[in-house]
Amino acid sequence: MGEQPPEGHTPRSRIRAVTAEVRARLSANSALIVLAVIAATLAWTIAGGLVQDHRPFFAPIAAVIALNAAGGERGAQALRLLMGVFIGILAGELSLLITDLNEVAMVLATACAMTVAAAINAERIIIGQAAASAILTTIFVGGASPGIDRLVDALIGAGVALAFSQLFFPARLVAMLRRIEEDALNEMASMLALVGRSLEHGETSSEQVVNRLGDLSRPMAELSRARESSRSTIRLSTIRWGDPKPVLEEDEVIERLILLGESCLFLSRTTTAMGVEEQRELAPIVTDMAQVLTILADDLSSREAREQAVEQALTAARAYGAGLPEDDPVTHATHLAVEMVATDIMVFAGIRFEEVEDVLLGELEDPTVPHPPGEPWLPWLRWRPRWRPVTGRLPWRRPGDR
């Protein structure tokens, strides 16, 4: 009989993996699809009723294009679309005044629209919409004023998109940031789980650590981009009318999560200098830390999950610290790395920074893990959170670190 393929490489397992991935994609985009369909239908209905003798095909297109962005970017996307349409229509109308030849007018209008959009350092969507509007304005046959009709369509479609994205279904930035946090936590958990398996078999090498650094760089970059985007969204959306504190506090949580990622990498790095027996002793501790991160990622809105994660992280850290030789610098560095991971997990879970050292030393047996802050459905309403994470500097961090 032939050799059986390894677990995870059989056709059935691959089909299950692909099916799960497709379901995850559909689940992540289902709300956007429903919202875009409703907005497109509404934009078509409004434009058809306001503009006579005209098929308002661009109104629903504009609504869908404006909504087809990350939740915090939909308002800005609608404004970019309007800017591109206006530039293209203006270029098209001016070109038609210069020449009656549609082909020549199209060339002039397209070149002019894209040049103007590029000159003002516009984004790609503005340049593309400017070119498309210029082309349709100059070659559209059968309408007395195709440029004006298209502008009206764009205003209606973008207006519907703005109403949906800013008033009725505004971006819930805290929920969006937590989804990114979940991805980062899952990536960290996968990395530590792999490190734990390598330690168990004595196969850890510096090359593997470098590869893990590359794997973790993507979610870390996503976290940094999410922080920058969230603050931009507050300035450019209706959230600024309400209370931006929940988003700013979640930004601080992301900052702690970035430090947690660095701690996980430091722990992985210290293992390469350990002996085989020491690596095998550390393997269950690293595996436990991976499980803690998985618990956190499963439900960031659950206080019970955070309490369980803190308890398991403390158990793992205290178990590894018992009976270790203090004169071995490698062992000391590894012990410090384990404590750093446990500390960052506790602060990420919401434990006050002033209590962390007492918790690690066992002087505080029952630390308070607060309920994760919530977010109203309409963030632009006035709202006050009950909890604010406390940040500070760890005793072993440099003064410039945060």
Mind listing the pLDDT tens digit for each residue in 150-170? 788 888 888 898 888 878 887
Mean per-residue pLDDT over the chain, rounded: 78
Quote the pLDDT of residue 388.
44
Name the one residue in this structure whose structure tokens are 């503005």: 126
For residue 125, which of 40, 56, 75, 66 has the smallest C-alpha distance? 66
Q: What sections of 299-380 are H helices per DSSP?
A: 303-321, 329-349, 353-361
Burial class (CB in 10 A: 0-12, 13-18, 19+), 151: buried
The C-alpha atoms of residue 153 and residue 164 are separated, in whole angstroms, by 17
b/e for 363-388, b at 16 or more Cβ within 10 A?
eeeebebeebbebeebbbeeeeeeee
Q: pLDDT (tens digit, 9 = 90+) per residue, 365-395?
A: 777 787 777 666 666 665 444 444 444 433 3
Tell me what pLDDT residue 243 has: 65
Q: What is the pLDDT of residue 111?
A: 94
Give, in order, the Cα–Cα distances in Å from 324 to each of 130, 151, 271, 282, 331: 67, 73, 15, 11, 7
Other C-beta atoms lying within 10 Å of the C-beta of residue 6: 8
As separate numbers, helices (DSSP H) first and strands (DSSP E) second, the chain gives 13, 0
Q: What is the pLDDT of residue 115?
A: 94
Cβ neighbors of 263 (< 8 A, separation 6 or more) are 337, 340, 341, 343, 344
Q: Which CB contacts under 8 angstroms, 24+ apart, belong to 55-58?
A: 56/149, 56/152, 56/153, 56/156, 57/153, 58/150, 58/153, 58/154, 58/157
Q: Rounded CA gap, 78 and 67, in Å?
A: 7
Q: Which residues, including other chains, have CB under 8 Å from residue 21's CB and lie 6 or more apart?
A: none
Contact status, residue 170 vs residue 379, Cβ threshold 8 Å: yes
Question: Residue 51: what pLDDT?
Answer: 64
**Entry pTM:** 0.65
Sequence letter at residue 377: W
Residues 250, 387: Cα–Cα separation, whole Å: 11
Choose among 313, 321, 26: nearest CA to 185.
313
Distances (CA, A) of 261 to 74, 210, 258, 305, 344: 30, 14, 5, 19, 9
Q: What gap in Å lies between CA 134 and CA 55, rounded to an integer? A: 19
Among residues 308, 338, 310, which one has the least CA distance to residue 322?
Answer: 338
What is the pLDDT at residue 293? 92
Going by C-alpha positions, the residue among 317, 316, 334, 338 that lies closest to residue 325 is: 334
**Predicted confidence pLDDT, tens digits, the chain (402 residues):** 444 554 455 778 788 888 888 887 887 788 888 888 999 999 998 888 776 666 777 888 888 888 887 766 777 788 888 898 889 988 988 998 888 887 898 999 999 999 999 998 878 888 988 998 888 888 864 455 666 777 888 888 888 988 888 788 877 777 788 888 888 899 889 888 888 888 877 666 556 666 666 667 777 788 888 777 777 676 666 666 666 777 777 888 888 888 898 888 888 888 777 777 777 888 888 889 999 999 999 888 888 888 888 888 888 887 775 555 556 677 778 888 888 888 889 888 888 777 777 777 666 677 778 777 766 666 666 544 444 444 443 333 434 444
pLDDT digits (tens, 9 = 90+) for 244-301: 777 777 888 888 888 898 888 888 888 777 777 777 888 888 889 999 999 999 888 8
- Residue 384: the pLDDT is 45
The CB density around residue 274, as the number of other CB atoms within 10 Å, is: 20
- Quick one: pLDDT at residue 376? 65
How would you write 187-244 as a 3-class SS string?
Answer: HHHHHHHHHHHHHHCCCCCHHHHHHHHHHHHHHHHHHHHHHHHHHHHHHHCHHHHCCC
